[in-house]
A and B are shown apart, each in its own frame.
Chain A
Amino acid sequence: MILPLFRRELRSCLLPTAIITVVVVLYAGVIIGMYDPELGESLALMRDAMPELFAAFGMADQGTTLLEFVVNYLYGFLLVALPLVLVAVLASRLVVRHIERGSISYLLAQPVGRPRLMLSQAGALVFCLVLLVLVLTMFELLAAHIMFPGELASSDLVAVNAATFCLWLFFSGVCWAGACALPSVSAARWAGVALCTLFVLVQMLSGIGDELSWLGDITPLALFDPLGVASGDASALAGAVALGISGMALFVLGTAVFAQRDLSV
């Protein structure tokens, strides 16, 4: 970690992180507030009218508990897509923009190795995601406690959010590897996020009908089972751990390629 650089980059990443955090927290507040049996019935009517659409957004089953309701309506799409936007913005800001503008030449002209430089940049990205998940968890716990006291077990929500964080880490690793390794600036900026978006779209398609349900097993998102993690299911836990470790491995891989590549800046 290069502390002066980490502090500087963290400052530059705080605004996009704050924006996504506010949006995510707003949605979380709305979804928790919607947990109401009567509204649940009307949502069930809507879901019965448009089952494919609801299934595509990971909202096939309303669930019976507050946790199941929240996971169904929030973690199926919103907490997958919005953090992916943040990850794409931060990877671009921390790596691609420096290469595109040439400011990387000043960073590389300092007596720090490329791996240390990139791991410091990666540290800023991961720190922002930690901030996001912490604020989200605290807000969800607080909102659930105020609106539905005793309905949400803190440990279950923490487990769900830890699994979600592992998914974000995976997305970050994919975007990071692309940003560090690809020689063309536009490919470096878009390849990772395009691949992750493809995973999300395939996952959405798999929910539309039985014929396409097999699609749900072919993307890494199949490893993401937050309710399984909350209930202590071993395969769900292993899936979350695999996502997290793959994400970190992709960070290391991207950084290793960056350390060896030519930089015409």
Chain B
Amino acid sequence: MANTSAPAICVRGLTKDYGRGRGVFDVSLEVGVGEALGFLGPNGAGKTVTMRHLMGFIKPQKGTVQILGHDCFRERPQVQASLGYLPGENACMQEMTARSFLDLMAGMRGMRDRSRMLELVDAFGLDLGARIGGMSKGNRQKVAIVAAFMARPDVLLLDEPTSGLDPLMQERFLDLVAEERARGAAILLSSHIFEEVGRACDRVAFIRAGRVAMTCTMDEVRSMRGRGYTVEFSSARERSRWELAHGNGPAKGSSRTVELRDVRDVNALIRELSSYDVAAITSREQTLEELFLHLYEGGEPSGQR
């Protein structure tokens, strides 16, 4: 690795405007050596566009995009020599077998030692003799994972990496990411699955409509993430009493349940519910969409960068 004090991945003020609000706008990210940054956002938020800039597939309109001190567009071969990439859209050459595809990728890298490749093939139970076009989505994803990790790269860009993998393979993949982090690889993991990012990353950047809403540690995200509750009252009348107490109009229809989102103080909720006739209460973790909504309603953690 070229310079251990500088960030391995450095994006500053990246802008690419595709018109009609599409693209990325003034995106800034940094990932240090041995660090994993989750890149979370809904579909179309700008995750893949940012990844394409890091891969040198597209030129920034404004800003700089560097990996290990090299400009990602102008110095592509130097960047790619230290980079492992797992594309979001799996497009391995379908007419090839897994073995011939991986051999081609290794050959193009000038990689002679195939021991890591074979280790990964064993770990993921990949059938090297099978034609990629005849594989399931999960198995095609395994081929892409082996291709991304087999050269022991210093930097890994992973776009929706567990897409199509079964739960066992997802576990293996997360173990592999932890191994690579321990080895010192810098990882940018793009996803819209909160749990995946939560397991794999130290920090997380939220992107929405092409702009980074905030970057914070996973601990901060966990503390921000409230719970949702579904309260079933004993009658519609009791529910109406709750609604009126909370400044809402009386409940319409015969529904007896209310949805409470982003509840932080559970004790206060329990105390309040004790004065009502409650039939049942169920809880769930706040969804990513709800957390996003919360973020855009003004809640910002102390550690925002």
Interface residues of A (CB under 8 A from B): 2-5, 8, 12, 101-103, 105-114, 260, 262-265
Contacts and interface: CB of A to CB of B under 8 A. Distances in A.
Identify which of B58, B76, B94, B108 gathers the most chain A CB atoms within 10 Å of its CB: B108
A70 B77 CA distance: 50
B131 to A, nearest CB: 14
Given A2-B108, A108-B55, 5 more contacts: A105-B87, A112-B80, A262-B58, A262-B59, A265-B89
B83 A109 contact: yes
B77 A112 contact: yes
Nearest to B101: A106
B77 A109 contact: no
A22 to B, nearest CB: 22
B276 to A, nearest CB: 55
A108 B89 contact: no
A106 B103 contact: no
Top 9 A-B pairs, shortest CB-CB distance: A4-B107, A102-B91, A111-B81, A110-B108, A262-B58, A111-B80, A109-B85, A263-B57, A111-B77
Contacts, number: 77
Contacts of B81: 111
11 contacts: A5-B107, A102-B87, A102-B91, A105-B87, A105-B89, A106-B92, A109-B80, A260-B59, A262-B58, A263-B57, A265-B87
B104 A5 contact: yes
B103 to A, nearest CB: 7
Contacts of A105: 55, 57, 85, 87, 89, 91
Interface in B87-110: 87, 89, 91-96, 100, 103-105, 107-110
B256 interface: no
A11 to B, nearest CB: 10
Contact of A113 (B52, B57, B76, B109): B76
Contacts of A263: 52, 57-58
Contacts of B104: 4-5, 8
Contacts of B78: 111
B210 to A, nearest CB: 15
B58 A101 contact: no
B80 A106 contact: no
A262 B57 contact: yes
The number of chain B residues touching the other chain, given as a range, is: 20 to 34
A106 B93 contact: yes
A110 B153 CA distance: 12
Given A4-B104, A113-B77, A12 B92 contact: no
Nearest to B109: A110
B57 A108 contact: yes
Contacts of B89: 102, 105, 265
Given A102-B91, A106-B147, A110-B80, A265 B108 contact: no
Nearest to A260: B59
B143 to A, nearest CB: 10
B91 A101 contact: yes
Nearest to A120: B108
B93 A264 contact: no
B100 to A, nearest CB: 8
B190 to A, nearest CB: 14
B299 to A, nearest CB: 34
A111 B57 CA distance: 13
B56 interface: yes
B117 to A, nearest CB: 14
Interface in B45-66: 52, 55-59
Contacts of A114: 76
A114 to B, nearest CB: 7
Contacts of B92: 103, 106
Nearest to A104: B91
Given A262-B58, A262-B59, A263-B58, A110 B91 contact: no
Nearest to A100: B91
A264 B57 contact: yes
Contacts of A3: 107
Identify which of A109, A111, A262 gathers the most chain B CB atoms within 10 Å of its CB: A109
B191 to A, nearest CB: 18
Nearest to B144: A106
B21 to A, nearest CB: 17
A127 to B, nearest CB: 18
A246 to B, nearest CB: 29
A14 to B, nearest CB: 13
A111 B75 CA distance: 10
A113 B70 CA distance: 14
Contact of A109 (B55, B95, B110): B55
A108 B108 contact: no
A102 B90 CA distance: 8
Nearest to A259: B76
A111 B79 CA distance: 7
A8 B120 CA distance: 24
